[in-house]
Chains A and B, each alone.
Chain A
C-alpha cells in the first residue's frame, strides 16, 4: 500500500489576491520571474489558477504570447520539481499549462509541437481527480488538430463518442462545441449547405444557453459558408451579428476570419479587386497576432485570384512569399505533394493551378 500527503505550506492567497499576483507576474519580464518567484507568489495555486484563466482569455487575441506564457509556467512547475498546492494540483497545473501551450501551437499551425504538448497535457491530467473531464477537453483539442490536418473521416468517426462523454459528464457547452468540428468537416468536404445547417443549429443552441463565445463562432462560420455560396445577404447579416461580440471578447483570431469570409463572398460575386483588398485586411489582422500560416494560406488564395485575372507575375510573387513559411511547417503527404508541384511551377515560371488550389485547400484555415 502506498499513500502520500501533500501538506499545505503557509496561508494560501485569496482568489482576489491571486488575480492581482497573476497580473504582476504577467507584467514582469519572463527572464526575471524565476528569481522573483517568491515575491511574485508564483508557486501559489491561486496565482497559477488566475494565470491559466488570463492566458485562456488572451488566447484568441494573441496566441504567440499565450504560448510563451503557458510554456513558461509548465517549465517552471515541471523542473526543478516544485510541489504546488494540495492533492492533485501540481498534476492539474502541468496538464492545464501544457494544454494551453498546445492550443496556442494549434492556432499558430505549429503542428508537431502541438501534438507533443497534448501528450504532456495527458501526462498531467491522467493523475487528476477529475481526469475524465480534463481528458475530454484534451480530446477535443486533439480532434480539432486532426481536422486541421484534414483527417475528416477520423474526426467524424471519433466525434460522437466525445459528444457522448461531455453529455455524460454534464458539460453541455463542451458537447455543443464539438459540433463545430462536424460543421467544419462538412465545409471542408465542399458541402457548405450541410455545414450551414449545423452552424445554424449551434447558433440556436448557443443562444439558448447564453454562450456568447459559441454564438460568435457560429456566426463566423456562417459568414464563411454563406460567402462560399455567394449568399451575400446572409453572410453580411452573420458578420454584423458576429463582430460586436468578437470585439467585446477581444477575439482577434475570429475577427480576422470574418474579414476572410467577407473576402470569399466578394470573390464569389466577382468583385476581384475588393476581394483582394479584403484578403489583405485579413492578412494584416493575422500578422498582428503572429499567425503566419494563415498569412501564407491567404497569399496562395490571392495568387489564385491573380492568375484568374491573368496576372501571373504578381501571382508568382505571392506564391514565393508563402513558400518559405509553408516549407517551415510540417505537413501531411498530400500537402507536401501539392507543395512540390507549386515549387516546381515557380521554378518554371508557369503555375500549376490545380496544385496551387490543392495546397491552399490544404491550408484553408479552420475555425475554432
Chain B
C-alpha cells in the first residue's frame, strides 16, 4: 500500500479523480465539463501517444547513450558544435534522463558550451512532433524547431564564456 501511494502514476490518477469528483459534488454541470474535456482530449491523443511512445522506445534501444557519447565526442570544432546543436533534437525523455548522459559527456571532456547546447537542442523534441503539430500546427512546430537550433548555438557560445570565466 505504501509503495502504491508513492507511485507517481497512482498519485496523478488519484489526484485527477479526486479533483473531478470534488467539482462534480460542488456543481454537477462543471464536473461534467471536466469529465467531457478529459474524455474527448484523451481519445484525440491516444493513438499519437502510443505512436510517440514507440518512436522513443525504439530510439532508446537502437541509439544507446554510449553511441551518442562517441558520436558527439567533445562537441568541439565546428562539426562537433553543429552536431550537438542538432542531433539531440531527435531524442526523447525528460530532463531527468538527460542530465546523467550529460555528466558522462562532461567527464569525457566535453566543453561547457557543448553541454548547454545539447540540453537546449534536446528541447526541440522531434519525437513529439505528432503531438506538437496536432495541437499547435505545422508552422509553429517548424518555426520553433528552426529557432531551437539558433537557441542552442547562442546558448553554447554564452555558456562557453561562463565556463572559461570559471577556470
The answer to whether A binds B is: no
Residues of B within 8 A of A (CB): none
Residues of A within 8 A of B (CB): none
